[in-house]
Amino acid sequence: MPFETNIFINCPFDDDYKPIQKALIFTVMYLGFEPLLSTTISSGHIRIQQIIKHIKASKFSIHDISRCAAKKKGELGRFNMPYELGIDIGCMQFGTRLQKMKLCLVLEEKEHRYDQFISDISGQDIKTHQNNPEKAIERVLEWLDAATDDNIPSLGNVWNAYIDFIGKLEIGLKAEDYSDGEIKNLQHPKFIKLAKAHLATI
């Protein structure tokens, strides 16, 4: 996995975030990048070590800090995503010459909401997706268009390709006796495997 084509995706794994997660993963794969996300291999596995490994190995990173707020009154906020963003920025600052070339996209749900909980991030280029997978795809395309010399396709092209894949996944997995729940809650390693096989056919 070459440094130049790896994209570390730092995002929530909640079920209600899944549509955005899938859209981000598919988009970077459609553009020829390799998505790297943390996985829990076993209970003894130290997750942060894997995240650090992914951060070191990726020229590009997408950090979605839209799910940091507590969901209910009395709940605490969730800081894994800003924590991992901090490690990535640290890697850019203190890493090797290659790592100093790293580029990151920070996604949020609404403009300037982050000022309330992570104000030191102000000044970074933070883009909003309004909890909409198509907007999230658009933000990634804009970012990669500016950050690379690649010929980035239009939003309509990527969105249609994504919709085609999601439809094929639903019908294909049902034919393989997967339940609605299993398809809806498909974990990202499986989603990546299916997307890779699909993209090899188009």
Binding site for another protein (CB under 8 A): 19-20, 23, 43, 132-134, 159-160, 162-164, 166-176, 179, 181-182, 184-185, 187, 190, 193-194, 196-198, 200-201
CA pair distance 3, 36, nearest whole angstrom: 11
Q: Which of 142, 124, 57 is nearest to 86 (CA)?
A: 124
CA pair distance 8, 125, nearest whole angstrom: 17
Smallest gap, in angstroms, from Cβ of residue 51 to another protein? 21
Taking the least distance from each CB to another protein, the nearer of 115 and 164 is 164
Contact in structure between 87 and 130 (CB atoms under 8 Å): no
Q: Given the structure tokens 């084509």, which residue do they identify?
A: 5
Q: What is the DSSP letter of 124?
A: B
Smallest gap, in angstroms, from Cβ of residue 29 to another protein? 13
Contact in structure between 159 and 137 (CB atoms under 8 Å): yes
Taking the least distance from each CB to another protein, the nearer of 90 and 167 is 167
Contact in structure between 26 and 165 (CB atoms under 8 Å): yes
Count the residues in the chain.
Answer: 202
Smallest gap, in angstroms, from Cβ of residue 95 to another protein? 35
Smallest gap, in angstroms, from Cβ of residue 167 to another protein? 5
Contact in structure between 141 and 133 (CB atoms under 8 Å): no
Taking the least distance from each CB to another protein, the nearer of 55 and 158 is 158
Smallest gap, in angstroms, from Cβ of residue 93 to another protein? 36
Taking the least distance from each CB to another protein, the nearer of 77 and 167 is 167
Smallest gap, in angstroms, from Cβ of residue 133 to another protein? 5
Taking the least distance from each CB to another protein, the nearer of 40 and 116 is 40
CA pair distance 156, 134, nearest whole angstrom: 9
Taking the least distance from each CB to another protein, the nearer of 53 and 184 is 184
